[in-house]
Amino acid sequence: MNELKETIDELASVFHEFKKTNDTRLKAVEEGGAVGDLEGKLVAINEKMSELTDVKTKLEALETKSNRIPGGGQEDGEKAANVAAHVKGFNQYFRKGTIDGLRELEQKALSVGTDPSGGYTVHAEIEKSIDRIMGDFGAMRSLCTVMPITTSEYKRFVCLGGATSGWVGETQSRSETDTPALAELAFNVKELYSEPKTTQELLDDSIANIADWLADEVGVEFAEQEGDKFLTGNGVKQPRGLLTYPVVDNDSWSWGKIGSVNSGAAGAFAVAPNGGDALIDLTHALKRGYRANASWLMNDLTLAEVRKLKDSNGAYLWRPGIEAGAPETLLGKPIEIDDFMPDVAANSLSIAFGDFKRAYRIVDRVGVRVLRDDLTEKGFVKFYTTKRVGGGINHYEAVKFMKFAV
Intra-chain end-to-end CA distance of the chain, in Å: 47
pLDDT above 60: residue 402: yes
User: Contact, 134 vs 218, CB < 8 A?
Assistant: no
Where does 161-291 have alpha helices with state H?
A: 200-205, 210-214, 220-232, 277-285, 288-291
Closest CA to 26 of 344, 274, 265: 274
Q: 208 exposed, middle or buried (CB, 10 Å; 0-12, 13-18, 19+)?
A: exposed
User: Contact, 97 vs 204, CB < 8 A?
Assistant: no
Closest CA to 303 of 315, 284, 316: 316
Q: How confident is the model at residue 70 (pLDDT cuts 50, 70, 90)?
A: very low
pLDDT above 80: residue 71: no
297 or 310: which leads in pLDDT: 297
- Percent of the chain beyond pLDDT 90? 40
- Percent of the chain beyond pLDDT 70? 85
Q: How confident is the model at residue 274 (pLDDT cuts 50, 70, 90)?
A: confident
pLDDT above 60: residue 293: yes
Question: What is the reported pLDDT for 367?
Answer: 78
Q: Find the range with the poorest average confidence among 28-37, 104-113, 369-378.
A: 104-113
SS3 165: coil
Q: CA 231 to CA 242: how far, in whole Å?
A: 5
Query: Phi-psi category of 402—alpha, beta or left, where left has phi over 0 and alpha has psi -120 to 50?
Result: beta
Q: CA 379 to CA 131: how far, in whole Å?
A: 30
Where does 233-321 have alpha helices with state H?
A: 277-285, 288-291, 300-306
Residues forming beta bridges with residue 121, ordered by sequence position: 369
Taking each helix axis from N to C end, the angle separating 77-96 and 102-109, rounded to the nearest 10 degrees, works out to 140
Q: How confident is the model at residue 69 (pLDDT cuts 50, 70, 90)?
A: very low
pLDDT above 90: residue 285: yes
33 or 216: which leads in pLDDT: 33
User: Contact, 239 vs 391, CB < 8 A?
Assistant: yes
- The gap from C-alpha 274 to its chain's centroid, in whole angstroms, comes to 30
SS3 120: strand
CB hemisphere CA count around 229 (13 angstroms): 23
Q: CA 365 to CA 150: how far, in whole Å?
A: 6
Q: What is the pTM of this model?
A: 0.76
Q: CA 387 to CA 223: how far, in whole Å?
A: 11
pLDDT, mean of residues 127-140: 70
Closest CA to 94 of 189, 192, 190, 218: 218
Q: How confident is the model at residue 395 (pLDDT cuts 50, 70, 90)?
A: very high
